[in-house]
Structure formats: structure tokens, C-alpha cells
């Protein structure tokens, strides 16, 4: 075959496993596993197994190696991988909205910028939803809502500081003066949006496991 190296040939299941491992490790820590680390991770008794898999991946065009350099594996399709941003998770955002000493996050959510439509520059954060106040917008208790700092537009879902507590509400400007509306009949809605701190605009939602639907 003359143009063999130009095509990305089909990988076997095992080769795909290796490639996935390289990918996730490299994206998590930024460090490419060495052949002996691959060996350990897959439980190979010999380092040769890892080496030959790398060679196969290179022959099929999935990776490019630089010879005789440590951890020097590049992905051939590097371009179409979306960058990852780390979004800090807060249980709630206390009054100090834009102060420098941010509250300690309760964890971190890693999302690719594409799925949330984030830019790498935008300081996004996540809020763990408590209660059912936005159940009408299909936001459940325990969901993680990803928010971005920007000006709210009509019908945006925003995090607002009400009575010292951060709450999700829908931002409505249909009338003359904007107001906030809860998406649950049991909750008070129609709070004038003046004098209220809008802490962020919802751009995405992540619902995790370890819960019942």
C-alpha cells in the first residue's frame, strides 16, 4: 500500500485501550506515561508489550513518536481535541462576590470547553443545586450547574444573591423592569432584579451518578 501512513488505520480493541490510557493520562496530568508505566498499568510482565503497542499505534498513524526521547509521544489528531477547563465547585457563594479571596471550592469539575460553550478565558464555576426551586427548568437537587460571569440576558437562568444566599432563578426582562422568577410554584417568584447581585449565568449542567433518578 503506497499511502498507508496517510490513513488512520483501524485500531484493535487493545490498541484503542492503550491509546485511551495515554490520552486520559496526558490530559489529566499533562505527563505522558513512559513505556514502563504503561506496562505497570496494564499489568504486562514485560516492557516489550507496551513498546510493541506503541509501535503499532505509530504504524497506524494514531501517534507520532520522537526517537530516543523520554515520554515523547504526540497524538496525531491533537488538533480536534477540545481543551479541558477546571471549574471549581462551590456549595454556595457567600456575600463577597468579586473579592480576591475566593471561597474554598468543594471540588473541581473538569469539562471540555466545547460541551459547555465556554471559552478558556471565561472564569466559570459550578454550583451544587440544593432544593427543587428550579425543577420546572429540569434542574434537580444535587445537580451541578456551571455558571459564567457575564451580563444576563432575557430568560437566562442566573445565580443571584438573595438574603445572603445564592439561589438559581430565571432572569426575565419581558416587562419594563427585570425580575427574577423561580421555576417552582412552591417558591416565591417575581423578585425585582434591582439591588440584587447576579453572580453568574448558567451555561451548562452536569448530573452525576451515585444518586437515584
Q: Rounded to an integer, what distance in angstroms lies between the CA atom of residue 103 and that of residue 90? A: 8
**Annotation says 169 is catalytic:** yes
Q: Can you read off the three cell numbers belonging to residue 134?
A: 428550579
* Contacts (CB under 7 A) with DNA, residues 156-195: none
**Annotation says 59 is catalytic:** no
> Long-range contacts made by residues 72-80, C-beta under 8 angstroms, separation at least 24?
72/32, 73/22, 73/32, 75/22, 75/23, 75/26, 76/8, 77/8
Distances (CA, A) of 144 to 38, 63, 125, 140, 159: 34, 35, 10, 9, 12
Min CB(161)–its own copies separation in Å: 20
Task: Build a one-symbol-per-residue string for 137-156: x at contacts with its own copies by CB under 8 A, - elsewhere.
Answer: xxxx---x----------x-
Find the binder of its own copies among 11, 51, 56, 135 (CB under 8 A): 135
Of the pair 16, 155, the CB lying nearest DNA is at 16
User: Which of 52, 133, 174, 210 does the annotation list as catalytic?
Assistant: 133
Q: Can you read off the three cell numbers belonging to residue 194?
A: 434591582
Of the pair 72, 74, the CB lying nearest DNA is at 72
User: Which of 34, 40, 46, 169 does the annotation list as catalytic?
Assistant: 169
Find the binder of DNA among 28, 71, 138, 153 (CB under 7 A): 71
Q: Rounded to an integer, what distance in angstroms lies between the CA atom of residue 62 and that of residue 213? A: 39
Work out whether 51 is an interface residue with DNA (CB under 7 A): yes
First to last CA, the chain: 52
Work out whether 60 is an interface residue with its own copies (CB under 8 A): no
Work out whether 51 is an interface residue with its own copies (CB under 8 A): no
- The answer to whether residues 126 and 96 touch, using CB atoms and an 8 Å cutoff, is no
Work out whether 53 is an interface residue with DNA (CB under 7 A): yes
Q: Which residues bind DNA (CB under 7 A)?
A: 12-15, 34-37, 42-49, 51-54, 56, 59-60, 65, 67-72
Catalytic residues: 133, 169
Amino acid at each position: 500500500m503506497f499511502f498507508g501512513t496517510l490513513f488512520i488505520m483501524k485500531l484493535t480493541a487493545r490498541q484503542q485501550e492503550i491509546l485511551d490510557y495515554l490520552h486520559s493520562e496526558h490530559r489529566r496530568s499533562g505527563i505522558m506515561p513512559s513505556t514502563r508505566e504503561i506496562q505497570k498499568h496494564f499489568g504486562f510482565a514485560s516492557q516489550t508489550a507496551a513498546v510493541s503497542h506503541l509501535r503499532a499505534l505509530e504504524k497506524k498513524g494514531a501517534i507520532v513518536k520522537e526517537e530516543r526521547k523520554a515520554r515523547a509521544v504526540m497524538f496525531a489528531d491533537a488538533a480536534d481535541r477540545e481543551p479541558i477547563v477546571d471549574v471549581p465547585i462551590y456549595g454556595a457563594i457567600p456575600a463577597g462576590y468579586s473579592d480576591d479571596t475566593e471561597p474554598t471550592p468543594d471540588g473541581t469539575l473538569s469539562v471540555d470547553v466545547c460541551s459547555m460553550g465556554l471559552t478558556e478565558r471565561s472564569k466559570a464555576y459550578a454550583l451544587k443545586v440544593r432544593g427543587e426551586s428550579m425543577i420546572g427548568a429540569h434542574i434537580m437537587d444535587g445537580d451541578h450547574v456551571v455558571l459564567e460571569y457575564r451580563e444576563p440576558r432575557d430568560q437566562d437562568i442566573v445565580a443571584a444573591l438573595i438574603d445572603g444566599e445564592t439561589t438559581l432563578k430565571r432572569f426575565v426582562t419581558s416587562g419594563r423592569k427585570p425580575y427574577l422568577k423561580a421555576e417552582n410554584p412552591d417558591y416565591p417568584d417575581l423578585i425585582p432584579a434591582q439591588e440584587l447581585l447576579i453572580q453568574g449565568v448558567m451555561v451548562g449542567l452536569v448530573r452525576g451518578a451515585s444518586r437515584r433518578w
